[in-house]
Structure 1
Amino acid sequence: MSITIHLYYTGQAGSARLFAEEMMSSGVVQAVRAEPGNERYEYFFPMEDPETVLLIDRWRDSHALDLHHQSEMMRQIAALREKYKLRLRVERYTDAPK
């Protein structure tokens, strides 16, 4: 059962976009995408809210997501979120069993 998570990072004065750009340029995004069980990790910019960045994050199952949450990547992401003083809102979705 795949798990999709929408993470909304919101800041001020363009800090959310700067966060996403640093996530890309620092290699954190590439490292997360290479983690076992990651199926999607992409940033989007809502047209009507320039201070928010949406991350769509998809994992094969809860085990893969749990391993990601325990990884060094999560510490790096948390440090960057703090650096840019971002608020976070999370929505979680699971696929229905087939």
Structure 2
Amino acid sequence: MSLTVNLQYTGSNGSARKFVEEMESSGIAAAIRAEEGNERYDYYQSLADPETVLLIDQWRDQESLDAHHASPMMAQLAELREKYDLHMHVDRFTPLDMPEDHDAQFLRR
């Protein structure tokens, strides 16, 4: 059962965007994507609020996420969040037990 964590990073003067650029250029984001159990690690820029970046972070299970949280990369992440003075909002989601075609009538493929 996958779990998805949405993290909104908010800063000022483009700091959230600079944070993402450093996460990518430093290789930290790539290292997280390569961790056992990581299924998705993607950043998105908000159109409504240019000072907010959304991270969609998906893991195979809680154990994989716990291992990520215990990794040395978390110290690097915390250091970068401090460097760019970012504030965070976190939402966590788990899949519903529904047939895959439950929402098919609402989707355009």
TM-score normalized by structure 1? 0.97
Letter of the 2:58 counterpart: R
Q: Which string of whole-angstrom CA distances, capped at 9 and with x for unpartnered residues, describes residues 48-98 of structure 1?
A: 100000000000000000000000111111110000000000000011357
**Which 5+ residue runs of structure 1 have no aligned equivalent?**
none
Letter of the 1:30 counterpart: A
Q: Which residue of 1 aligns with 2:6?
A: 6
Q: Which residue of 1 aligns with 2:24?
A: 24
Letter of the 2:45 counterpart: F
In the alignment of these two chains, the number of paired residues is 98
TM-score normalized by structure 2? 0.87
Structure number with the bigger relative contact order (C-alpha 8 A, sep ≥ 6) is 1
For residues 87 and 47 of structure 1, the distance between their equivalents in structure 2, rounded to whole angstroms, comes to: 18
For residues 83 and 46 of structure 1, the distance between their equivalents in structure 2, rounded to whole angstroms, comes to: 21
Indicate the RMSD between aligned Cα atoms, in angstroms. 0.9
Could you tell me the percent identity over the aligned residues? Answer: 59
Q: Which structure has the bigger radius of gyration?
A: 2
